Amino acid sequence: GEQVEQLPSSLIVQEGASVLINCSYTDSASVYFPWYKQEPGKRLQFIIDIRSNMERKQNQRLTLLFDKKTKHLSLHITATQPGDSAIYFCSASNNRIFFGDGTQLVVKP
Amino acid sequence: DTTVKQNPRYKLARVGKPVNLICSQTMNHDTMYWYQKKPNQAPKLLLFYYDKILNREADTFEKFQSSRPNNSFCSLYIGSAGLEYSAMYLCASSRLDWAYAEQFFGPGTRLTVL
């Protein structure tokens, strides 16, 4: 079945820095790639998504890039703030959804 | 109201005893999901309901049951809890076109089996 891998598993940055979270998947049948974040003590929350017929999507400080050939995604967060501290989950979906193990981001003030 | 609710938030169970977890949503979503999440691991899909049709994952087929008496409610039932069932159980819902739709998650139920 589908396997989703995220790297790095954790990141610590200073406020204002940019970060890049990488995600790879194995099943070429996956067509939809939503990302979620989970702030400490809170529920998983949708943040951005992309479909397999797109290469790039931007939502404010978030940019999601998708490479169908290499089965790779990357989430770029600019001008990070302490409030961005959370675990970020990549996922891949066809008729099932599979999540990565998450990337823990800590943004220090 | 875009809230998914789960009850109870914490559940303590004895090995071999049944466990029933409840989820509700008022967004009139067609699809409801149950995930199991353990620390530092990915949420793992256990099963989902599309309308009244239950789909269970092959590797957890015999371990979990579910019911959906109406559009708003969905339960997760463990007939005989084992230590390995200790985890956070997440409920989520999404609209009709589930393969391309964001999911709305509940806060989770933390199950501890002793």
Quick check: A88 pLDDT over 80?
yes
- Report chain A's mean pLDDT, rounded to a whole number: 96
- Report chain B's mean pLDDT, rounded to a whole number: 93
Minimal CA separation from A43 to chain B, in Å:
5
The better pLDDT of the pair A91, B99 is held by A91
The reply to whether B105 touches chain A by the CB within 8 Å rule is yes
Of B33, B44, B105, the CB nearest to A43: B105
Interatomic CA distance for residues A66 and A75, integer angstroms? 9
pLDDT average, residue stretch B23-34: 95
Q: Which helix (H) or strand (E) holds B65?
A: strand B65-70
pLDDT at B34: 97
Of A44, A93, A98, the CB nearest to B105: A44
Tens of pLDDT, residue by residue over B45-72, are 999 999 999 999 888 888 999 999 999 9
Quick check: A86 pLDDT over 70?
yes
Residues in chain B: 114
**Distances from the Cα of A28 to the Cα of A66, A85, A94, B27, B49, angstroms:** 13, 31, 9, 32, 25
Q: Which tokens is A86 given?
A: 């959370």
Percent of chain B with pLDDT over 70: 95
Model confidence band, residue B97 (pLDDT cutoffs 50, 70, 90): low
Task: Say if residues A21 and A37 touch (Cβ distance below 8 Å).
Answer: no
Residue of B nearest to A96 (CA): B99
pLDDT at B6: 97
Of B42, B57, B102, the CB nearest to A99: B42
Tens of pLDDT, residue by residue over A7-53, are 999 999 999 999 999 999 999 999 999 999 999 999 999 999 999 99
